[in-house]
Homo-oligomer: A and B are copies of this chain.
């Protein structure tokens, strides 16, 4: 087990150095309200643990020149973001700057043995490039419900073979460092909170529209997971009583109407019916259609594809309008591959939410597309584990 801080002062110092970068002892003392001698003791302990190091002397502010401290340059965190159809692995330094990031297509249905091996292989390639030797901690996001406490997926609908697989235990044995496992949407929300548009927002929602649809909920700067860890599971909210049957067995769920799987299904129907020449041509070329094909069709001016995206935006907007009235967030971020559908989708979502939610809740509510793209997940995963490793309370 890696060295860990042993009190809240040390935890505050580490988080400060992580988020704000190198600081002089004088500045650190002011922020954490410690005397010079007490601060020196805490910093010495962090230096001994290998988590903090000296970085020279600050410019004099009149008296003795103050030493500059920073997170030790050899600290490394690993973020692993496992999606339904891809694996992303990144290595960051102690300030969560990405030093290396690799991605590969993958099928999560291949099961934990194969998928986790592929993730470790990507990490091995990054290590071979010299970005990491020792690892201080790893965060992992999975595309399904996760018991955060146990570090394992629980009855995940699109992950056959993963139910109750001990991901945390397996990976911490493999990596010999602290590991935390969470669902992919929570991890993305943390990424947005750390490095994205939500940096200065305490209460916000991140809606991920990928193969399925999920929502990350941040309350007072922390992920809200709910009582059994399923908070934000909005894909199965019923939108249309007469809608199509969902994989969950109910009818008219949001996910049955929109999202990667539903869009691919509707695109094939549109191609075969001859209503969309663009999609028909793509289908005959590749044998299958995805949300990306619908996006390409819409961009090329295909009317049916545009209509599919607007319809989807209306469904998302309906659900979001209720959640905005209920939760009164300061920001809503739309993310996930289907967010590539871009501004047609966003315009529709905004129009429905602004029309249907109360003015008091929407008065200052930005609804925006994520600007982090594929990195929100891996950054969020390193943020998750660094919070843990840097926190005195988990020592």
Contact = CB atoms under 8 A, between A and B. Distances in A.
Given A236-B325, A238-B356, A325-B233, A228 B361 contact: yes
Nearest to A331: B227
A330 B227 contact: yes
Interface in A198-247: 203, 215, 217, 219, 224-234, 236-238
A292 interface: no
Interface of A: 145, 154-155, 203, 215, 217, 219, 224-234, 236-238, 248, 250, 318-319, 321-323, 325-330, 355-358, 360-361, 363-365
A250 B356 contact: yes
A351 to B, nearest CB: 14
Contacts of A230: 325, 328, 358, 360-361
B321 A226 contact: no
8 closest pairs, A vs B, by CB? A226-B328, A231-B328, A227-B330, A230-B360, A237-B322, A230-B328, A230-B361, A227-B328
Nearest to A231: B328
A363 B228 contact: yes
Contact of A361 (B226, B356, B358): B226
Considering residues A155, A229, A230, which has the most beta carbons from chain B within 10 angstroms of its beta carbon? A230
B227 A364 contact: yes
Contacts of A217: 326-327
A178 to B, nearest CB: 24
Contacts of A231: 326-328
Contact of A237 (B236, B238, B325): B325
Given A215-B326, A319-B322, A326-B323, A360 B228 contact: yes
Contacts of A328: 225-233
A116 B203 CA distance: 34
Count chain B CB atoms within 10 A of each CB in A219, A236, A326 and give the residue with the most: A326
Nearest to A318: B238
Nearest to A145: B360
Of A234, A323, A360, most B-chain CB atoms within 10 Å: A360
B326 A361 contact: no
Stoichiometry (number of copies): 2
Contacts of A330: 227
A323 B230 CA distance: 12
A155 B370 CA distance: 33
A221 to B, nearest CB: 12
A358 B203 contact: no
B233 A361 contact: yes
24 contacts: A154-B360, A217-B326, A217-B327, A219-B219, A219-B224, A225-B328, A227-B328, A227-B329, A227-B330, A227-B365, A229-B360, A230-B328, A230-B358, A232-B326, A233-B361, A236-B325, A236-B357, A236-B358, A238-B322, A250-B355, A250-B356, A322-B322, A323-B326, A326-B326
Contacts of A237: 321-322, 325-326
B361 A325 contact: no
Contacts of A227: 203, 328-330, 364-365
A233 B360 contact: yes
Contacts of A323: 322, 326
Greatest chain B CB density within 10 A among A224, A322, A358 is at A358
Contact of A358 (B233, B355, B356): B233
Nearest to A322: B237
Contacts of A329: 226-227
A250 to B, nearest CB: 7
Nearest to A239: B322
